[in-house]
């Protein structure tokens, strides 16, 4: 029997969606289902950084994965014209996987230049640690989806989780560097629930 995967995210639905958001999910989202792409962002939240990636990489296909439907709806609202619901020109490279990224990885043969994971859920209680997404097992899986010289870029303001991820990396074949990066503004970065001074970043590459 196949191993049951542990759920790494919280809720899939929050407050009721607006009529426009529901329309976008019903009519626009199906056309954005990804197959292959150049850059992947896992757990995009409300999608601020997915939009930055699309604007900064106009020739690339950017795939965002997020199971929280209110976040998916926020991204859809931000990338479409309010009157026509058409995708705005600067965002035509965006594709959305509105579910667990692990299901997407099972069906794609993409090799990504970049895989972004910004503020992954830290699951701070010891009994929830097994829900942490960035385990050695998952990082090993991600390493198989990197193109030559491809990078996994991780950011978190939860410094205990940061140290935990560094321990996990030791059980992978990935090489980690700590970059000097500008702080990336996302919704969770602004919330800074961990109350730390700044997020810390890691870049991982295949050896």
Ligand X SMILES: C[S@@+](CC[C@H](N)C(=O)[O-])C[C@H]1O[C@@H](n2cnc3c(N)ncnc32)[C@H](O)[C@@H]1O
86 or 191, CB closer to ligand X? 191
62 or 118, CB closer to ligand X? 118
Question: Smallest gap, in angstroms, from Cβ of residue 207 to ligand X?
Answer: 25
Catalytic residue among 121, 157, 163, 180: 121
Question: Smallest gap, in angstroms, from Cβ of residue 83 to ligand X?
Answer: 28
Three-class SS state of 175: strand
Q: Which residues contribute to the site for ligand X (CB under 6 A)?
A: 8-9, 42-45, 65-68, 71, 100-102, 118-121, 133, 186-189
55 or 86, CB closer to ligand X? 55
Counts of helices then strands in the chain (DSSP H, E): 7, 7
The answer to whether residue 121 is catalytic is yes
Integer Cα distance of 167 and 170 in angstroms? 5
Question: Smallest gap, in angstroms, from Cβ of residue 106 to ligand X?
Answer: 12
- Produce one character per residue of 55-92: b if its CB has 16 or more CB atoms within 10 Å, e if not: eeeeebbbbbbbbbbbbbbbbbbebbeeeeeebeeebe
- Produce one character per residue of 161-190: b if its CB has 16 or more CB atoms within 10 Å, e if not: bbebbeebbeebebebeeeeeeebebbbbe
Stated length of the chain = 207
53 or 61, CB closer to ligand X? 53
Integer Cα distance of 9 and 24 in angstroms? 23
- Candidates 81, 66, 92; CA nearest to 24 is 81
Catalytic residues: 121
């Amino acid at each position: 029997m196949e191993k049951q995967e542990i759920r790494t995210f919280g809720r899939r639905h929050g407050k009721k969606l607006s009529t426009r958001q529901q329309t976008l999910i019903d009519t626009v989202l199906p056309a954005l289902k990804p197959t292959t792409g150049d850059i992947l962002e896992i757990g995009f939240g409300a999608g601020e950084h997915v939009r930055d990636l699309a604007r900064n990489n106009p020739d690339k296909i950017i795939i965002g994965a997020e199971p929280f439907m209110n976040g998916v709806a926020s991204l859809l609202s931000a990338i479409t014209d309010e009157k026509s619901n058409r995708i705005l020109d600067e965002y035509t490279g965006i594709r959305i996987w509105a579910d667990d990224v692990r299901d997407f990885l099972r069906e794609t043969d993409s090799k990504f230049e970049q895989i972004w994971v910004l503020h992954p859920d830290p699951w701070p209680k010891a009994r929830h640690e097994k829900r942490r997404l960035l385990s050695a097992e998952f990082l090993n899986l991600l390493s198989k989806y990197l193109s030559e010289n491809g990078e996994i870029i991780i950011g978190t303001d939860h410094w205990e989780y940061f140290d935990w991820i560094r321990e996990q990396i030791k059980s992978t074949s990935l090489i980690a560097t700590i970059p000097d990066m500008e702080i990336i503004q996302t919704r969770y970065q602004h919330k800074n629930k961990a109350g730390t001074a700044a997020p810390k970043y890691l870049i991982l590459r295949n050896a």
